[in-house]
């Protein structure tokens, strides 16, 4: 069960402090992943989980700054509320309207969103170039927003947004298109969540991204939002669900001969980006991945 090697982790009185604020936070996989990166880098630092109720967020962030923390990740339910605590926002965080990384620098709080950039990096690592692709995104919540906006900025040709609540797909499409400024055509289009739309959109797409919880072990294990026969070999299938690692959708994609990508890579890449922001150095991504996969196996 030990997820951090206590020998490898060197914590002195001058240790750099980082962590994650969530509510609840006990299921977060960031502590084992970040502490593995800290250990691999030989940095005198520690990353700790902190359960913080929404009403306490401002007090806790001010307290951590006063205590000399380098920064923190914020996760559900704090990603939007933390915006009001930030003095300067990265372009990504501003575009998405949410932060997942705070960096305390002198008298300022800098806010970043590494989810979308982490998603793009995970595509790059898999050799997938988004420019010019037609993409289908399932879902229209926070993850879909971040992913769709970053895909649009990366130059995809079309984003089909399919969501159970159609109006939310329409709202997200409007947000995405409004960020494209002078782009001559509307990149994002909403579609209803039905068999006809799903089949039709997938037949024209080269990338499918599932951002819904369908297939998650805690939500609907063994289920998939699509049928195998709707998939084709030119389609890259990206499931943001990472627990279980081999979701039903990932297995269907493999059966259909698609390149199948797991959401665990997005988690690794967003974490690696947070590490770079806080410590100004390159983390050992392989060690982070190994620690994450180990922690995921232990949560089963
Ligand atoms: P996240 O931050 O992970 O994106 P979220 O903001 O709660 O989480 O969004 C979850 C998305 O999954 C929503 O688009 C939701 O659809 P609705 O807008 O209709 O609520 C979608 N979703 C959740 N459960 C679903 C299910 N069983 N089938 C299809 N879509 C589902």
Residue 107's nearest CA partner among 45, 57, 62 is 62
pLDDT digits (tens, 9 = 90+) for 182-214: 555 679 999 999 999 999 999 999 999 999 999
Q: Which amino acid residue places its CA nearest to atom 18 of ligand 1?
A: 165
pTM as predicted:
0.93
Average pLDDT over residues 235-258: 96
> How far apart are the CA of 189 and the centre of ligand 1, in A?
18
Please say whether the beta carbons of 37 and 272 come within 8 A.
Answer: yes
Residue 188's nearest CA partner among 166, 157, 226 is 157
pLDDT at 91 over 90: yes
Which atom of ligand 1 is closest in space to residue 164's alpha carbon? 19
Residue 246: the pLDDT is 94
Residue 1: the pLDDT is 47
Q: Could you tell me the two tokens for 223?
A: 């289920």
> How far apart are the CA of 223 and the centre of ligand 1, in A?
14
> How far apart are the CA of 212 and the centre of ligand 1, in A?
5
Q: Could you tell me the two tokens for 50?
A: 């902190």
Q: Could you tell me the two tokens for 49?
A: 């989980």
Show the ligand 1 pocket: residues with CB < 6 angstroms: 139-144, 163-165, 168, 211-214
Catalytic site positions? 79
Phi, psi of 73 (to 5 degrees): -90, 145
């Amino acid at each position: 069960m030990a997820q951090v090697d206590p020998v490898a982790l060197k914590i002195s009185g001058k240790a750099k402090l980082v962590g994650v604020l969530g509510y609840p936070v006990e299921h977060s996989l960031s502590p084992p992943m970040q502490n593995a990166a800290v250990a691999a880098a030989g940095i005198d630092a520690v990353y700790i989980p902190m359960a913080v109720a929404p009403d306490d967020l401002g007090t806790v962030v001010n307290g951590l700054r006063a205590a000399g923390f380098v920064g923190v990740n914020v996760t559900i339910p704090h990603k939007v509320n933390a915006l009001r605590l930030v003095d300067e926002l990265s372009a990504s965080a501003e575009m998405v309207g949410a932060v997942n990384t705070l960096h305390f620098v002198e008298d300022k709080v800098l806010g970043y969103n590494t989810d979308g950039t982490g998603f793009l990096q995970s595509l790059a690592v898999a050799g997938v170039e988004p420019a010019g692709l037609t993409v289908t995104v399932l879902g229209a919540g926070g993850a879909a927003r971040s992913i769709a906006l970053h895909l649009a900025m990366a130059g995809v040709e079309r984003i089909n947004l399919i969501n159970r609540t159609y109006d939310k797909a329409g709202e997200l499409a409007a947000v995405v298109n409004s960020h494209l400024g002078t782009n001559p055509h509307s990149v994002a289009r909403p579609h209803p969540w039905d068999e006809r739309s799903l089949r039709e959109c997938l037949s024209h797409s080269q990338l499918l991204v599932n951002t819904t919880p369908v297939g998650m072990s805690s939500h609907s294990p063994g289920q998939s939002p699509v049928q195998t026969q709707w998939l084709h070999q030119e389609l890259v299938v990206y499931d943001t669900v990472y627990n279980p690692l081999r979701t039903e959708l990932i297995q269907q994609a493999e059966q259909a001969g698609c390149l199948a990508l797991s959401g665990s890579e997005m988690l690794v890449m967003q974490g690696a980006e947070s590490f770079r922001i806080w410590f100004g150095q390159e983390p050992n991504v392989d060690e982070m991945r190994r620690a994450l996969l180990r922690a995921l196996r232990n949560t089963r």
